[in-house]
Amino acid sequence: MSVLVVGLSHKSAPVAALERAVLTPDALVKLLHDVCRADDVASSLVVSTCNRVEVYAEVGAFHGGVAAICELLARHSGMSQADLTPHLYVHYEDRAAQHLLAVACGLDSMVLGESQILGQVRAALKVARDQGTLGRSLSELGSLALRTGKRAHTETGIGRTGANLLSVGLDAAVAAAAKPLAGLNVLVVGAGSMSSLAVATLARAQARVTVANRTASHARRLAATVAAQHAEIGQLPDLLRAADLVVSCTGAPGHVITADMVKATGRPIVLLDLALPRDVAADVAELPGVTVIDLATLAADETSQTGVPVPHEADVAAVRRIVAEELAAHLSASRAAKVAPTVVALRAKADQVVEAELSRLAGRIDLDAAAHAEIVKSMRRVADKLLHAPTVRVKELAGSPGADSYDAALRVLFDLDQATVQSVAVADADLADWQPGMPDTMGEEGTS
What is the distance between the alpha carbons of residues 388 and 403, in angstroms, rounded to a whole number? 18
Report DSSP state, residue 209: E
Q: Is 402 helix (H, G, I), strand (E, B) or coil?
A: coil
β-strand partners of 257: 280
Alpha-carbon dihedral sign for residues 368, 369, 371, 375: positive
Strand partners, 57: 4, 44
Query: Is residue 36 among the annotated active site residues?
Result: no
**What is the per-residue DSSP string for 137-205?**
HHHHHHHHHHHHHHHHHHHS-TTTT---HHHHHHHHHHHHHTS-STT-EEEEE--SHHHHHHHHHHHHT
Q: Do the Cβ atoms of 173 and 293 come closer than 8 Å?
A: yes
Q: What is the DSSP-derived secondary structure letter of residue 312?
A: -
Distance CA 257, CA 255 (A): 6
**Rounded to an integer, what distance in angstroms lies between the CA atom of residue 373 and that of residue 376?**
5
Give 292's strand partners. 271
The one catalytic residue in 36, 50, 105, 249 is 50
**How many Å apart are CA 265 and CA 146, to the nearest integer?**
46
Residues paired with 48 in a beta bridge: 53
Catalytic residues: 50
